[in-house]
A = this chain, B = another copy of it.
Amino acid sequence: MTADLARLAIHTQTIRSWDLRTCCAKFAAAGVAGIGVWRHLIDPAAGGVTPEEGSRILADSGLRVPSLVRAGFFVSPDAQARSEAIEDARRAIEEAATIGAAHVVMVVGAHPRVPLGVARGWVQNAMGDLAPHAANHGVGLAIEPVHPQYAADRSCVCTIAKALEICEAIDHPALGVAVDVYHVWWDPKVEEGIAACGRAGRLMGFHICDWKPDQADPLNDRGLMGDGCIEVARLGRVADEAGFAGVREVEVFSDHYWAMNADEYLKLIIERYRAHCPES
């Protein structure tokens, strides 16, 4: 780990051409402090290692593991699909415990045929059901508020305030919020929301990237810090002032960067982190 990268973590999906072993070796060699693990890399059915093997690889790397990404998608008109999503989230909790991830990132789901109010009720019920299981495994469940552009099909929870409200309504200490600047930067209450999560002791994760005003695709054209208009450094300070002491997780989905040489891309991520989200 390098001194001024002590709080830098990178999601495996950010450099998705690398498997878990490669991510761990490269990140550690570059001085990066942590890694956010996407589930397919610890799923043999998806070509990954077993969670147990993943646990050994991660432990050997010395990297911190803030997050396992992701579970959720609780919203479907089909009751069977809803039950399966909850079962899947239980497995994610167990996997997180196995690999030593501090929390599971929850993208809660939405469906065009399910009214938002109904969807939010189902999400709250699902999170309430899962919280004890998470606590029993020593794992947090972090609801990630997701940009309103995905409110029809990916997440009925679009604001920090709503994510925190669900946590507080259930009132279980295993629940928290993962703030991704891409999803919440536009919110006039973003600072207030981050501060409130901090006060409640529920600010579990902080994801960084950037919003490109001219994005070509709503899914896979995210920017690296400095490519767009998000005040990443400022929001990082807001989180720190709210008591957040965890790693900042670089999560970027980008056809552009995925096409780059991965070693060069890793260097660029570190360069942009130092320039646009410096550790003070």
Contact = CB atoms under 8 A, between A and B. Distances in A.
Given A148-B147, A149-B149, A152-B213, A158 B112 contact: no
B112 A151 contact: no
Contacts of A162: 188
A178 B229 CA distance: 27
Contacts of A147: 148-149
Interface string A164-188: 0100000000000000000001111
Interface in A135-169: 147-149, 151-153, 157-159, 161-162, 165
A113 interface: yes
A153 B213 contact: yes
Q: What interface size band does chain A fall in?
A: 20 to 34
Contact of A159 (B112, B188, B218, B229): B188
A241 to B, nearest CB: 16
Nearest to A151: B186
A64 interface: no
A120 interface: yes
Interface SS of chain A: helix, strand, loop or mixed? Answer: loop
A115 interface: yes
Interface string A56-97: 000000000000000000000000000000000000000000
Copies of this chain: 2
Given A112-B213, A213-B153, A187 B148 contact: yes
A143 to B, nearest CB: 13
Interface in A222-238: 228-229, 231
A273 interface: no
A87 to B, nearest CB: 25
Nearest to A212: B152
Contacts of A159: 187-188
Given A152-B229, A159-B188, 7 more contacts: A112-B229, A116-B231, A147-B149, A148-B148, A148-B187, A152-B213, A165-B188
Interface of A: 112-113, 115-116, 120, 147-149, 151-153, 157-159, 161-162, 165, 185-189, 211, 213, 218, 228-229, 231
11 contacts: A148-B148, A148-B186, A148-B187, A152-B213, A153-B213, A157-B188, A158-B186, A158-B188, A159-B187, A161-B188, A162-B188
